[in-house]
Structure formats: C-alpha cells, structure tokens
A and B are shown apart, each in its own frame.
Chain A
Amino acid sequence: NAGVTQTPKFQVLKTGQSMTLQCAQDMNHEYMSWYRQDPGMGLRLIHYSVGAGITDQGEVPNGYNVSRSTTEDFPLRLLSAAPSQTSVYFCASSYFGRGPEQFFGPGTRLTVL
C-alpha cells in the first residue's frame, strides 16, 4: 500500500493563479480531509468528505473547493491564489467508525507570490 499520496510536493504560484492539489489513498478509507498548517501553528481543517459525492466545510474553507468523485481521490482546488494561502497542505484519510487513527500524506508546500 502506498498509503496517502500528495502531489506536488512543492509549488510556487503567482497571485490570482489557480491550481489543484492532488490527494489519493489506496486503503479504501471513507473519510478524507484537507488541512493547512501555517508557521508555528497547528493544522486547521479546510474541507472533509465522508464518502464519494459527500463533502463539507471545515474551519477555513474560503478560497478552496473540493469534490469527491471516487473513494480514492480528494483533490483540493485553489480558485484564485492569494499570498494568505501560502502554507503547507496536508491530506488525511481514515476509516469511519473503525478506528481513530487518521493517516496523513507527506504534505504539499505552497508559496503564493
């Protein structure tokens, strides 16, 4: 199993550009989530999904879109990048009701100029 994979590892954008951060898991987990981590802070939940076709907002959803067309994939779209979105983005997945552990991807470091 590859676990949770994220691409790209690093990305530099200009203000106003759009892009998609990719996340995939091969563990057949129902739950998938996106978090951002700013310097010196803990992770904050952006969006999450409890299964294909079902998504909901977290603490800091503004400026981001998600969709979940398959169990495996949960892409995060930045609609119009802003310097405030410079952060490290983590994708995570977990079983629903079958254990507490959330498995994290390696993260994507995004810089918006």
Chain B
Amino acid sequence: AQKITQTQPGMFVQEKEAVTLDCTYDTSDPSYGLFWYKQPSSGEMIFLIYQGSYDQQNATEGRYSLNFQKARKSANLVISASQLGDSAMYFCAMSLPGGQGGKLIFGQGTELSVKP
C-alpha cells in the first residue's frame, strides 16, 4: 500500500539559513508524483513543488528544491534562505495510481518555525 512518512513533527530554523524537511514514501507503482504543500496558520493549502518519478533532475522552484533519491524512496524539501513567512505546516504528498494530481495521499506534516 502507498504511504508517506514525515518523521519531523516540528523543526526550528534561524532566519536566512537553509532547512531540510524529510519525506519518505512507499509505493510499488513505477509511475508516481511527489508534491510538497505549505499550510500557513490561515489554513489554505499552497502548492510548492512537484517531482515526477521519471524526472531525471531534481525539481526547483525559487527558494524551494526537492532532493529526490529514488533508491532511498525519499523526497526531501530544501528551503534556502528561510524567511519569517516560511513558518507554517509543510505536507509531503504522493499521487495514487491513475490519479495524476487528483488523488493524493499526505504525510502527517512538519511544523516549521523560523526564528528571527
């Protein structure tokens, strides 16, 4: 069965430093997508970055990059130069078979706090 695991319930980082949020996944399907979403205290879900299982290069979007290690089944999110506005919950998610981006399973999330 598909599963997403985020083992860090909470993380602290100093402003302007880089931080890595861990995510491991389990699936037997060769075709899947990995997503990261940000949920600020206001509650909305904000899409950050996507990595397809066949993508050769690690995905990057501005200050966000996804460290994709297929053999280890990990998809860690790296945030460079942290800002106070990065304080939020971060969720790793994976698409279910046949679901493209429409059927996702989520990890339990990591709460990131950025210190000034």
Contacts and interface: CB of A to CB of B under 8 A. Distances in A.
B101 A45 contact: no
Contact of A100 (B43, B45, B52, B91): B52
A58 interface: yes
B106 A104 contact: no
Interface stretch (A61-69, A75-83, A89-97): A89-97
In which size bucket is the chain B interface? 20 to 34
A13 to B, nearest CB: 20
B103 A100 contact: no
In which size bucket is the chain A interface? 20 to 34
Contacts of A45: 96, 103-105
B44 A107 contact: yes
B103 A48 contact: yes
A41 B50 contact: no
Contact of B105 (A59, A96, A102): A59
B70 to A, nearest CB: 17
Contacts, number: 70
Contact of A31 (B33, B47, B100, B107): B100
Interface in B72-90: none
Interface in A42-89: 42-45, 48, 50, 58-59, 88
A92 B95 CA distance: 14
Contacts of A96: 100, 102
B60 interface: no
B93 interface: yes
Interface of A: 31-33, 35, 40-45, 48, 50, 58-59, 88, 90, 92, 94-97, 99-104, 106-107
Given A33-B104, A45-B104, 4 more contacts: A42-B91, A42-B108, A100-B33, A102-B101
10 contacts: A33-B104, A35-B104, A40-B109, A41-B109, A43-B106, A48-B103, A94-B102, A100-B101, A102-B101, A107-B44
